[in-house]
Amino acid sequence: MAADERDEENELERRRRQRNRSIAIALALGVLVLLFYLATLVHLGGNVLNRPL
């Protein structure tokens, strides 16, 4: 029984670490997207939205 409980605890710990890692990767990706967006706006200038369609 003790081995089964340890295996279950190890599995729960592994899932928790994997979830935290996934959240960290998602946040890093979001920051990167925001950084590229802001760099594009700076590069194109503030008047990029004031053009005729």
Q: Which domain holds residue 7?
A: 2-44
CA atoms within 13 A on the CB side of 20: 6
pLDDT of residue 34: 97
Number of domains forming the structure of the chain: 1
Domain-located, residue 7: yes
pLDDT of residue 12: 93
DSSP letters for 2-25: HHHHHHHHHHHHHHHHHHHHHHHH
Q: Write out pLDDT tens, residues 1-50.
A: 577 888 889 999 999 999 999 999 999 999 999 999 999 888 888 677 77
Here the tokens at position 14 are 């592994």
Domain-located, residue 50: no
Here the tokens at position 48 are 């990029």
Domain-located, residue 18: yes
Cβ burial of 9 (10 Å; 0-12, 13-18, 19+) is exposed
Domain-located, residue 29: yes
pLDDT of residue 41: 84
**CA–CA separation, 22 and 11 (whole Å):** 16
pLDDT of residue 1: 54
